[in-house]
Amino acid sequence: MTAEHPPGEPPPEGLAGEPPAAGEEAPPKLGDLAAGAGLRRIHILAWRDLDDPEAGGSELHAARVAAQWAAAGLEVTMRTSFAAGHPVEVVRDGYRVVRKAGRYLVFPRAALSGIVGRSGRWDGLVEIWNGMPFFSPLWARGPRVVFLHHVHGEMWRMVLSPGWARLGELTERYLAPPLYRSTNVVTLSDSSRQDIVATLGLDPSRVWVVPPGVDPRFTPGGRRSRRPLVVAVGRLVPVKHFDVLIEVLGRLKARHPDLRAVVAGEGYELERLRAEVAARDAGSWLRLPGRLTDAQLLDLYRRAWVVASTSSHEGWGMTITEAAACGTPAVATRIPGHADAVVDGVTGLLASGPAELLSALDRVLSDPALRARLGAAALERASHLTWEATARGTLEALVAATRPARAGAPSGR
């Protein structure tokens, strides 16, 4: 699956990772596509990277795209904040990670380094707008593209004091958008695109939809749990609303006495959620094991009867399609992002509010035929999501950004 080009853009060149249709030419390789646009050195600005203890879907997405570009021969450098216990510089999967600032100082430091040229030479810039932007339109000259997975909105109030939350909301909704109206923006789903355009007022012709991929290690295998098993995976932070899931699972347990559940992941809410499980005397059937190894996560997806997500904001919901690649359907909140990651009634069920989540989980656990049908459709759909396609679609958006520069705009270095 390649980028879904907005109105006015040229049609896709082909589906990355898939053979061309009869009579069609194969799309150019990533390296050739970049070279044709003069893109050899690409810099990525990120709030956090994959080694950060609170890394999530945004960091995984950036890491997979960077690795694909590096494998294609591009020089990729990711500039980000310090990660506790990790070196200032490291090479991961062929691309360089540079960590030279704290969690909040990374924003002004990145801008200052870009202005005075300390960041080194680059042909293309990728800014990851994860709540707080780097304001690259003010200081970066040359081809740029922005990753914007979703609008944060009330998420600010979930994690910051009222004053700082208000500043974050004002910056995201009113201060930053006018600066980005001539920038190509890449988001993960059509529903997120609609929300970005409606809420931030960005030019819809510049918002590209490029779905995330699924790592090929996620495949069906092993055996399903003999008992009903509900799995949820993600960062344990307020926006994921795992407390709501725990409450729903407690009510579901009354309908399915053999129920087992696992909520896997790290985050600063881990101990609070464990205390809530203990207070409900649910520790014998509901586990919060923390971070899992890759092998443990794969085994969990394969054994699960359903994967659940109670998040209120997602650009997509990559754990949903990771589970789907293992043949496991989803029950998730009806929000932008989830509305594309889950085809309601086909690959899983979407629900609005705790009562509907309870009903949907009950349906999937109670109906083997429904569960099998949803799982098979989820598996088939996930098979079309590759990181090569994601890297290609994102690169196409960056290549498109080189055209004004070639027409006379100054080329940033």
Within-domain flag for 219 = no
Beta-strand runs (E) in 54-119: 75-80, 89-92, 95-99
**Strands of the 330-333 sheet, one edge to the other:** 286-290, 260-264, 229-233, 306-309, 330-333, 348-351
Task: Give the end-to-end CA distance of the chain in Å, rounded to a whole number.
Answer: 32
Which of the pair, 369 or 116, is modelled with greater confidence? Answer: 369
Q: Give the per-residue pLDDT at 52.
A: 84
Same domain, residue pair 45 and 170: yes
Encoded amino acid at 322, one letter: E
Same domain, residue pair 233 and 202: no
pLDDT, tens digit (0-9, with 9 covering 90-100), for 302-343: 999 999 999 998 889 899 999 999 999 999 999 999 999 999
Same domain, residue pair 301 and 363: yes
Within-domain flag for 223 = no
Within-domain flag for 93 = yes
Q: Give the per-residue pLDDT at 179.
A: 94
* pLDDT score of 409 more than 60: no
Q: Give the per-residue pLDDT at 83.
A: 84
Structurally, the chain folds into a number of domains equal to: 2
Same domain, residue pair 360 and 392: no
Same domain, residue pair 260 and 158: no
CA atoms within a 13 Å half-sphere pointing along the CA-CB vector of 227: 11
Q: Which residues contact 400 (CB under 8 A, 6 or more apart)?
A: 9, 184
Give the distance between the most distant pair of CA atoms in the chain: 69
Same domain, residue pair 236 and 376: yes
Within-domain flag for 123 = yes
Within-domain flag for 20 = no
pTM of the model: 0.82
pLDDT, tens digit (0-9, with 9 covering 90-100), for 71-95: 999 999 999 998 888 898 999 999 9
Instruction: Taking residues 173-183, report their average pLDDT.
Output: 90
pLDDT, tens digit (0-9, with 9 covering 90-100), for 211-226: 999 999 999 998 999 9
Q: Looking up tokens 């931030």, which residue turns up?
A: 200
- How many other CB atoms are found less than 10 A from the CB of residue 91? 9
Within-domain flag for 7 = no
Same domain, residue pair 147 and 188: yes
Same domain, residue pair 233 and 141: no
Same domain, residue pair 395 and 374: no
Cα–Cα distances in angstroms (integers) from residue 267 to residues 157, 233, 289, in the given order: 17, 11, 12
Q: What percent of the chain has pLDDT over 70?
A: 90
Encoded amino acid at 48, one letter: R
Expressed as residue numbers, the domain containing 63 is 30-213+386-406
pLDDT, tens digit (0-9, with 9 covering 90-100), for 105-142: 888 888 888 777 777 789 999 999 988 899 999 999 88
Q: Which residues contact 9 (CB under 8 A, 6 or more apart)?
A: 205, 208, 400
Query: 387-406 and 57-71 helices cross at what angle (nearest 10)?
Result: 70
- Please report, for the domain that includes residue 359, its CATH number: 3.40.50.2000
Q: What percent of the chain has pLDDT over 90?
A: 68
Within-domain flag for 11 = no
Within-domain flag for 169 = yes
